Structure 1
Amino acid sequence: MQMYQNLRYLLLPVIAIIGIEFIGIAICYWLYIQKLKPKGKTPPPVKQLALGAILIGYIVFVLELTMFGRGTSYYLQMDLRPLSGYMEAWHKHSLRDLQNGIFNILMFVPMGVLLPWIHPKFRTFKWLILVTLGATLSIETYQTLSGAGLFEMDDIINNTLGGIIGYQLHRLATSIIRDKRIRLRILLANLAIPFLMVMVLIAANIVYARQEFGNLAINAYAKWNMSGVRVTSALQPGAAPSVAPVYKRILHTDAIQPQLVQTLGLTVQDERKENGEREVLLTDEAGSQYSLCVTFDGNATLHENGAEPEPTFNRTDGRQPTLKQAQTIMSELGILPQKAEAEKGEGGEFHWSLPDTDRISQDYWTGEISLTLKQDGRLSSLSYGLRKHQYVRDVAILTPAEAYERIREGNFPLLKRNALLTHDQLVIHQGDRLDITRIELTHMYDTKGFYQPVYRIYGNFNGDANWFTLIQASK
Structure 2
Amino acid sequence: MRLEEIVGIVREYFSLALLAVITLGIILILIYFIVYKTILKGKKSVSKKRLLLLVMFSGYVIMVVGVTFLNRGPTYNAGMDFSLFSSYRETWNSFSVRHWQFIYLNIFMFVPFGILFPLLQPRFRKAIWTIGVAGLCTLSIESVQLITGYGNFVVDDLFNNLLGAIIGYGITMGFITIKEKGIKPSFFYFSPLLLVIILSISVFTYYHLKEFGNLSIVANNKVNMKEVTLTSDVEFNAKKATIPIYKAPSYTKAEADAFAETFYKRMDVDAADIEDISYPDQGIYRSSGEKSYDLWFQFLDGGYSFTDFSSHDEGIVPKDTDEESLKESLLKFGVDIQKDFYFQRVDTGSYEWIIDKKVSGNQLIDGSLTATYYNDHTVKQIENQLITYDKIKDVQIKSEQEAFGEILEGNFQILSENNRIDTLQVHKVRVSYYLDSKGYFQPVYAFQSTLDGSNMTILVPAI
Alignment partners' CA distance in 1, 2:410 and 2:240? 22
**Amino acid corresponding to residue 368 of structure 1 in structure 2:** L
C-alpha distance in structure 2 between counterparts of 1:120 and 1:301, whole Å: 60
Contact 2:74 2:148 (C-alpha < 8 Å) held by counterparts: no
Q: Which residue of 2 aligns with 1:407?
A: 407
In structure 2, the partner of 1:154 is 156
Correspondent of 1:21 among 19, 24, 39: 24
Which sections of structure 2, spanning at least 5 residues, go unmatched?
Answer: none
* C-alpha spacing 1:442/1:308, structure 2 compared with 1 (3 Å): farther
Instruction: Give the distance between the partners of 1:364 and 1:352, measured in 2 at CA.
Output: 19
Q: How does 1:71-86 map to 2 (within 5 A)?
A: 71=75, 73-74=77-78, 77-81=80-84, 83-86=85-88
In structure 2, relative to structure 1, the CA distance for the partners of 1:461 and 1:50 (3 Å cut) is same
Residue 102 of structure 1: aligned partner: 104
How many Å apart are 1:456 and its aligned residue? 2.6
SS of the equivalent of 1:434 reads strand
Measure, in 1, the Cα distance between the counterparts of 2:137 and 2:318: 64
2:209 aligns to what?
Answer: 210
The AA in structure 1 aligned to 2:389 is: H
Matched with 2:166 is 164
Counterpart Cα distance in 2 of 1:229 and 1:8? 51
SS at match of 2:419: coil
The aligned residue for residue 235 of structure 2 is: 236
Number of positions where the alignment pairs a residue of Structure 1 with one of Structure 2: 443
* Aligned counterpart, 1:394: 394
TM-score normalised per structure 2: 0.79
The equivalent residue for 1:271 is 274
What's the offset of the Cα at 1:125?
1.8
CA-CA distance at 1:445 after TM superposition: 0.8
Contact preservation (8 Å) 1:294, 1:301: yes
Whole-Å separation in 1 of the counterparts to 2:174 and 2:105 = 22
> Measured at CA, do residues 206 and 133 of structure 1 come closer, stay the same or move farther in structure 2, by a change above 3 Å?
same
Identity of aligned residues (%): 24
Alpha-carbon distance change, 48 to 373 in structure 1, aligned in 2, over 3 angstroms:
closer
Give the superposition deviation at 1:94.
Answer: 1.6
- 3-state SS of the aligned residue for 1:71? coil
Q: Which has the larger radius of gyration?
A: 1
Given the alignment of the two structures, is residue 466 of structure 1 paired with residue 428 of structure 2, yes or no?
no
For residue 162 of structure 2, give the secondary structure of its aligned residue in structure 1: helix
Q: Which amino acid in structure 1 is aligned with residue 306 of structure 2?
A: T
Q: Which moved more, 1:183-192 or 1:217-226?
A: 183-192
Change (3 A) 1:389 1:66: same
Establish whether residue 43 from structure 1 lines up as the match of residue 32 from structure 2: no
- Which residue of 174, 177, 185 maps to 2:176? 174
Partner of 1:420 in structure 2? none
TM-score (norm 1): 0.77
- Are the equivalent residues in 1 in contact too, given 2:244–2:393 (CA < 8 A)? yes
1:22-421 superposed matches below 5 A: 22-31=25-34, 32-34=36-38, 41-66=43-68, 70-71=74-75, 73-74=77-78, 77-81=80-84, 83-143=85-145, 149-175=151-177, 178=179, 184-185=183-184, 188-239=187-238, 242-250=241-249, 254=258, 258=262, 261=265, 268=271, 270-275=273-278, 276-279=282-285, 281=287, 291=293, 293-296=295-298, 297-301=302-306, 303=308, 305=310, 335-336=335-336, 338-340=338-340, 353-358=353-358, 362-366=362-366, 367-368=368-369, 370=371, 372=373, 381=380, 383=382, 385=384, 386-414=386-414, 416=415
Change (3 A) 1:434 1:143: farther
Alpha-carbon shift at residue 443 of structure 1 (Å): 1.3
For 1:353 and 1:309, the matched residues in 2 are separated by 27
Task: Write the distance in 2 (CA, Å) between the matches of 1:265 and 1:150.
Answer: 47
Structure 2 match to 1:428: 420
Shift of 1:167: 1.4
Supply the AA of the counterpart residue of 1:456: A
- Counterpart Cα distance in 2 of 1:352 and 1:136: 49
Counterpart residue identity of residue 295, structure 1: F
Q: 2 CA distance for matches of 1:358 and 1:247?
A: 12
Deviation larger for 239-248 or 400-409: 239-248
The whole-number CA distance in structure 1 between the counterparts of 2:373 and 2:450 is: 42
- d(CA) in 2 for partners of 1:245, 1:196: 40
In the alignment, is the contact (CA less than 8 A) between 1:311 and 1:348 conserved in 2?
no
- CA offsets 1:255-310 (integer angstroms, 9 cap, x no match): 68547747x77765523322142536599xxxx85746251243153748586665
The CA deviation at 1:392 is 1.7
Structure 1: stretches of 5+ with no match in the other structure = 315-320, 417-422
Contact 1:266–1:282 (CA under 8 A) maintained in structure 2:
no
- Write the distance in 2 (CA, Å) between the matches of 1:272 and 1:439: 46
The answer as to whether partners of 1:340 and 1:352 remain within 8 angstroms in 2 is no
CA RMSD of aligned residues (A): 3.9
Determine the C-alpha separation between the residues in 2 that align with 1:161 and 1:202. Answer: 17
Residue in 2 that maps onto 1:449 = 439
Q: What SS does the corresponding residue of 1:48 show, helix, strand or coil? A: helix
Q: 1:428 to 1:29 in 2, by over 3 A?
A: same
Residues 360 and 16 of structure 1: CA distance in aligned 2, closer, same or farther (over 3 Å): same
Alpha-carbon separation, structure 2, partners of 1:149 and 1:302? 32
- Asked if 2 retains the 8 angstrom alpha-carbon contact of 1:33 and 1:43, the reply is no
Match of 2:98, as an amino acid? R
Which AA in structure 2 matches 1:472?
A: P
Cα deviation 1:169-206 (Å, max 9, x = unaligned): 22244356x56xx9543564443322322222222222
Distance 2:30 2:244 in 1: 75
Cα deviation code 1:21-79 (max 9, x no counterpart)? 21122222333344576x8x33344543443454344344434444675427445x332
Counterparts of 1:304 and 1:100, CA distance in 2:
33
Q: Distance in 1 between matches of 2:296 and 2:61?
A: 43
